[in-house]
Amino acid sequence: MPTRFAGPLVLLRELRETMAATLGAQARLDRIVDLIAQNMQADVCSFYVLRDDGALELFATHGLKSEAVHTTSLRSGEGLVGLIAAGAQPLNLANAPAHPAFAHRPETGEDPYTSFLGVPVLRAGQTLGVLVVQARDRGAFQNDETEALLTVATLLAEMISTAEFDNLVSTGSDIDLRRARTFEGAGFAEGVALGTVVLHDPRVVVTNFVAEDIGAEKTRLDEAIRTLRLSIDTMFSTRDIKAGSEHHEILESYRMFANDRGWVRRLDEAVDQGLTAEAAVERVQNDTRARMLRQADPYIRGLHDLDDLANRLLRVLTGDPGVFQARELGEDTVLVARNLGPAELLEYDRDRLRAIVIEEGGPTSHVAIVARSLGLVAVGQAQNITAMCESGDDIIVDGSSGRVHLRPPPGVQATYIEKMRISARRQEHFAAQRDASAVTKDGVEITLLHNSGLLADLPALKETGAAGVGLFRTELQFMIASRLPRMKEQTELYAQALDTVGDKPITFRLLDIGGDKVVPFLRSTAEENPAMGWRSLRLAFDRLALMRTQVRALLQASGGRPLSILVPMITEVSEFAQARVIIQKEVAWLKKIGGTAPQSISIGAMIEVPSILFELDRLMPLADFVSIGSNDLVQFLTAADRANPRVSKRYDAIGLPRLRAMHLVVSAARAHDVPLTMCGELAGRPIEALALMAIGIDRLSMAASSIGPVKELIVAARLAPIRERVLKALKDTEDPTGMRELLISLAQAQNLPL
């Protein structure tokens, strides 16, 4: 008959006393393996820790030779211990030496032991080590012993993560939990930032692992699960969520997982082993994450859904609402998040924030645009980084390559410090060219303007020497406000913007909110395709008071100065005509009440919806100027969501179809002598800017950080031969050469800085 062990409750209570005792790290580990062996009546208990070089080092043992501790190691995948580490699954054997993966290590003295049970020590689904018990010829261990050892492994995972454990690490090495990692993402905003991690949505920290009263913990768990299920049902009932939409599918997956009997059963079993409800959730979350990370496609949405569900349950149990609160930041903070809205980003202290890293999003997503506006380095699509890092970790963000180095080694840090010195010298070079005209070698003058939306980034006009602000996104004031900004507040903001730019021009775009640009005070329903939904001018026409208030604020802010207003998301000429009428009525009203009207008023049309391309001949005579919004125009032309990395990468914004569409606007603007500006993010990248200049756009508006590199390109270029080749390529139906490849070859022929 197999020997029965004393039980997990006795073991956990003894371990809790050991964790609380005043002991050194090694003495604490030695005591833990002794307790496990005694409790489970095993001859051996050994604890292996995964090092940053991929080796599993024996850190403590009961029953093997003591001199093997910190001497014996196995490569990942080597032996039974390596097999457990690689697969993150328990292994229970009655005759371990007969297993094909068995690796004999005579220096440990393990020859007499045939019964073997090993479990992975997991944190955030990552293997940190392996915990093993062995015995002489007692057959396989029981299932409840496996569960008990997995429960103990949860406690050991937390112990490994503490600073106390650092004392056991050999000089020149580290444990895998803290090893350097590199993430290949997508660059959203160029530059390099060195700093420390702050998690935007920090994980709930479980501090109490051992249950005092299992019955009470099961009651707490049951109540929390009911609360969780109710909250998901409430989301369905209080929101108008269309069946089949992405929102509906996400909530359905939440509901499916929350009602999954297997998931609930595993939680109950973990509590039965003596864990608190919170510790049980963490253990099951670790096990599930470990399995899913080792699937062929580890980044399926189900992984995020399960993580989110577990985090929601932890917040219910701990009473943590999970509501974002602005936190004190240290110097050189790098914000790391699964996803992040522009309003949330603006909550942080911009003087201390250097970069953002997110797991999702696209380079033209709103948070990426705001990050560039704030002068932050930004990288997105850094898969799984939130699970791999902790607040306080060292991090390097390379926005140019899209690479993120977490806990970088000294050599990598030194390389990037030198890169930052070189970048600083480049910035000095750009600053020296601040007052130089942006004129090509063959005399083509290009007007460079800023995209903006915050008062904080307007002073950059003096630093870059830009000619003015080609696009001021007025919606940012609304997105960061907890209530609708009053007309007085809007007027003050616009007046300050006009005061800051002085005699330079500034174009205010009317509100582009709704859809995926969420404002907290605007009640809206979930939409299947928010970018093509109730937003921008459509919303303004349905909420005329909102539009009229903004127009009145702009008119009053002008104080008799010239005013330029841009009307967004026009789908047909009648909409622009209607917007002009509303603006002109407000001008007449201001004059009627004795107010000071603008010295002059220019009303422009934003070209970002493809349908308007077929009414350009009717639009141009009505518009004082036009601006191309490349972010939405490219999105709609390609039917590719700009914030969805799976499809946004598939289409080149300067591919032949897109350039042909933009050239239609250039031709129409010239025919009607209407000023044209490119104010999308496209203008801020050198090769894209070259493409735009080649098709005849000579007014480019971009983030302040892009002015220097684009101006450097302009003054080095001879535009005529490039323009000739590109315009020919636009008409050529046989040449298979891609537009980007053509432009790069033309730029390289002139040694242009790209």
| Residues with catalytic roles | 366, 679
Angle at 632 between CA 349 and CA 549, to 5 degrees: 65
What's the per-residue H, E or C state across 364-380?
Answer: CCHHHHHHHHCCCEEEE
Give the C-alpha distances (Å, rounded to integers) separating 625 from 185, 332, 473, 619, 672.
38, 42, 17, 10, 10
What is the CA 714 to chain-centroid distance, rounded?
Answer: 33
Greatest distance between any 2 Cα atoms in the chain: 101
Produce one character per residue of 288-313: b if its CB has 16 or more CB atoms within 10 Å, e if not: bbbebbeeeeeeeeebbbbbbbbbbb
Angle at 689 between CA 685 and CA 691, to 5 degrees: 125
CA dist 256 and 278 (Å) reads: 21
Q: Where are the alpha helices (DSSP H) in 528-655?
A: 536-542, 544-558, 573-592, 616-619, 630-638, 645-648
CA dist 424 and 409 (Å) reads: 23
Secondary structure letter of residue 473 according to DSSP: E
Q: How far apart are the first and last CA of the chain?
A: 75
The Cβ of residue 578 has, within 10 Å, a number of other Cβ atoms equal to: 14
Q: Which residue has the tokens 């098709």?
A: 695
Which tokens sit at 663?
């050239």
Three-state secondary structure call for residue 243: coil
- Strands 394-398, 699-702: pairing kind: unpaired
- Run of H or E residues at 96: none
Which tokens sit at 438?
């942006």
Cβ atoms 27, 62 nearer than 8 A: no
CA dist 206 and 439 (Å) reads: 61
